Amino acid sequence: MNNKKTMLNALATGLLCASSIDCASAMNFNIPTSASVESAQMGGASMAFPQSTAIASDNPAGMVELGNRIDGDVQLFFGSFRSSFGNEHNRDDFKVRVPVPSGGVNFMLDERTSVGMSLYSIGSGSDYSHAAIPGKGFPAVKTKITHINFAPTIAYKLTDDFSVGFSVLLGIQQLQARGLVAPQPDGSLGVSPTHGIVTTTGLGWRIGGLWKINPLLSVGASYSPKMRFSDASGYKDDLLAISGGHLDLPELAGIGLALHLTPDLTVAADYLRIEWDKVGFFNNPDGAGLNSQNVYRFGVSWNAVQSLTLRAGFKRASAAVDSDHTNANYFSPGILNNSVSAGFSYHLSPQTDLSLGYEYEIPETIRGRGASTGTNIGAHYSSVLMGIGMRF
């Protein structure tokens, strides 16, 4: 019975995360490198260096530093995956191409106070050409999970050099899973029922601070607890039963600094802690068994000329997925943790910026061991970063 439960949890975890950009984008398992394309060009470094109104997804205190501004971004994600399940001869591969939008808007109420909202989205869908286990007449797997998060934000300058910010996090989540293979009561393998597309809502908050210590150094930090989502009708009784019927987003804490070496040259670095092992669905040792992550983001920004800003950076993160849990994560290949990125913003006018960049994740393959022997996960993906920002 324990073996049946382990297999059910593993397959449930894999099929739930199947192709979602939550589990397979240029990110730390399911957290994007940055919702802001300017920051993503710098490896995500943003805690102490806000550049667009998507900043509340990292540090809401940065909003008050931006003035009246609106941003619209899209990250075009390209992913390819080649893996084996159960044994190295049962191979599968697929590709994903999907736009991931983000952005925000900010208004200054007075010289010290701003109100605004950041928007960041994660998600995609998958339509596999064959079943997870071939030769048994099971249907092909089709899954969908998407998140759209809104962050209404208020930020305030306590002094000319120190700002604080607070965001309410409002999330909309959609889930679909078809073709879930699981042990049946008689010990045979069968297909769990699908419940169509189910929509749930989530609620959370984030707080942040930004201190300009002197003209050379800025320090920023933020914290958000686990974001709780409502129960998913139908799936709460099978797929999500191990987590009480809902799928939450993890607790996050981060700190960063920015060195303004000259008025035109800034070097920034962040550290993030993502607490996957505190999320009821993902931390199950018989399922995904995710590890919490330490994420390091580094970047440089240079105003080369009045009309052009150049950026580059890299990100390095500890692994959320290990070799003991490749069975569970076979359909959730968010295994790439290290990336390099670069890009630029062209300032069409004092009011309008156009940004373009590219982020490349270093390819990797995780080979299963123990109960996961024979299940190997390989992934390769990248993102084209595009955005427009307007001051008013």
Is residue 392 pLDDT above 50, yes or no? yes
How large is the average pLDDT for residues 258-274?
Answer: 97
Nearest-CA neighbor of 383 among 14, 29, 34, 16?
Answer: 34
Question: Which pLDDT does position 331 carry in this prediction?
Answer: 65
2-391 CATH fold: Porin (2.40.160)
Q: Give me the percent of the chain exceeding a pLDDT of 70.
A: 88
Question: Which pLDDT does position 28 carry in this prediction?
Answer: 52
Question: Which pLDDT does position 189 carry in this prediction?
Answer: 66
For the chain, which residues make up each domain, given as ranges? 2-391
How large is the average pLDDT for residues 7-13?
Answer: 43
Pairwise CA distance, residues 132 & 21, whole Å: 20
The more confident residue out of 12 and 218 is 218
* DSSP SS3 for 56: helix
Check: CB of residue 102 under 8 Å from CB of residue 117.
Answer: no
The more confident residue out of 332 and 125 is 332
Residue range 16-37, pLDDT digits in tens: 443 333 333 344 555 678 999 9
Residue range 93-147, pLDDT digits in tens: 888 888 889 999 999 999 999 999 999 987 655 666 777 778 877 887 777 778 8
| Encoded amino acid at 92, one letter | D
Is residue 333 pLDDT above 90, yes or no? no
How large is the average pLDDT for residues 340-369?
Answer: 96
Question: Which pLDDT does position 15 carry in this prediction?
Answer: 38
